[in-house]
């Protein structure tokens, strides 16, 4: 455990020592970084980097094995006409689809693509600790090597930070060496950037490998100011502990422009050393096709159309 000794008093002391965030200033900084103009060679690089960072996600009640297998195909070979396109960072599904995804990926040459499972009563997080543990255990048993757990926002907002902290500690322990733990805050429910900073440090101290903005079920989600504050948090945590924690914005990043803005945020906040799939992921689904169309435009010199990328 870093920065805290596991007691409530040490946790509270750490959170109270955090500097405040000025919302308007953070928005202004994020907006300024949003004006960076990424062209030509940098754009090509950014598009491929973004593709390699995507946690290609389907989290629907209507998900079926067929749908998940199609997604896996896309993950391994995003553009069937161009083998130079990198594969995505991971597949992200509900835990009953983990086994389907794992098996199919292994079968089609995607053994190096991890399968992430959303967990701990995703998306609301409203269940007993036992249920959450069982939920995670199921995912691990099915072969998930990444667990995207949600925090208990109700407890966080009620000030019961020990409950939030302890749940992360439990799930982390369960993941052990078998899986990376991503902790989802659902920043749209935490509302303030001060809360985002607190949640970030709380999760990092509790053992998160990644901190993640959102479930994708609530809007707003991965807004640039929220990601900015989380990137500041991992940067500062690294300065204090020497440990690099990853960041995963998820929700609302639908086009290339948005994705490149995220990469600029990383580059100029946490720094270039975070610009790899080990430390930065983008939770998305529709984004991939837009990245592919932009990639075709750069390659072919004319604009692509939606019928030239695959619907999966």
Positions marked catalytic? 148, 212, 248
At closest approach, how far in Å is the CB of 218 from another protein?
Answer: 17
Between 132 and 261, CB nearer to another protein: 261
**Nearest distance from C-beta of residue 124 to another protein, angstroms:** 24
CA 172, CA 156: separation in Å to the nearest integer? 18
In the bound state with another protein, the residue whose beta carbon lies nearer, of 29 and 172, is 29
How far is 99 from 21, CA to CA, in rounded Å? 42
How many Cβ atoms from other residues are within 10 Å of residue 220's Cβ? 14
Q: How far is the CB of 19 from another protein (least distance, A)?
A: 4
Instruction: Specify the residue, 207 or 225, whose C-beta has the smaller distance to another protein.
Output: 225
Q: Which residue has the tokens 């593709």?
A: 51
Distance from the Cα of residue 174 to its chain's centroid:
20
Element (H, E) at 137: helix 129-141
Element (H, E) at 28: helix 23-33
Question: Would you tell me which residues interact with another protein (CB under 8 A)?
Answer: 19-29, 35-43, 45-46, 49, 191-192, 229, 232, 263-264, 267-268, 272-273, 275-276
Q: How far is the CB of 117 from another protein (least distance, A)?
A: 28
CB 150 within 8 A of CB 117: no
Cβ closest to another protein, residue 207 vs residue 277: 277
Please name which of 174, 110, 90 lies closest in space to residue 138, comparing C-alpha atoms. 174
């Amino acid at each position: 455990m870093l920065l805290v000794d596991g007691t409530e008093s040490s946790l509270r002391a750490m959170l109270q020592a955090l500097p405040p965030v000025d919302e308007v200033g953070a928005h202004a900084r994020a907006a300024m970084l949003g004006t960076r103009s990424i062209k030509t060679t940098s754009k090509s690089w950014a598009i491929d980097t973004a593709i390699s960072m995507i946690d290609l996600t389907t989290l629907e009640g209507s998900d079926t094995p067929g749908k998940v297998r199609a997604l896996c195909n896309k993950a391994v070979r995003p553009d069937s006409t161009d083998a130079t396109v990198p594969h995505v960072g991971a597949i992200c599904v509900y835990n009953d689809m983990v086994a389907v995804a794992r098996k199919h990926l292994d079968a089609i040459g995607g053994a190096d693509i991890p399968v992430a499972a959303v967990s701990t009563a995703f998306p609301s997080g409203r269940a007993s600790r036992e249920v959450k543990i069982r939920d995670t255990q199921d995912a691990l048993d099915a072969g998930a090597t990444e667990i995207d757990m949600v925090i208990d926002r109700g407890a966080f907002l009620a000030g019961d930070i020990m409950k939030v902290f302890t749940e992360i500690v439990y799930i982390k322990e369960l993941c052990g060496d078998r899986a990376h733990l991503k902790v989802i805050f659902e920043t749209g429910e935490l509302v303030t950037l001060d809360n985002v900073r607190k949640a970030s440090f709380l999760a990092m101290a509790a053992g998160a490998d990644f901190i993640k903005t959102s479930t994708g079920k609530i809007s707003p989600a991965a807004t640039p100011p929220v990601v900015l504050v989380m990137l500041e948090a991992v940067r500062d945590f690294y300065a204090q502990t020497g440990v690099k924690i990853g960041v995963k914005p998820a929700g609302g990043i639908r086009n290339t422009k948005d994705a490149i803005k995220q990469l600029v945020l990383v580059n100029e906040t946490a720094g270039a050393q975070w610009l790899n799939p080990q430390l930065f992921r983008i939770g998305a689904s529709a984004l991939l096709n837009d990245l592919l169309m932009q990639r075709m435009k750069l390659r072919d010199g004319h604009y692509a159309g939606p019928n030239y990328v695959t619907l999966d």
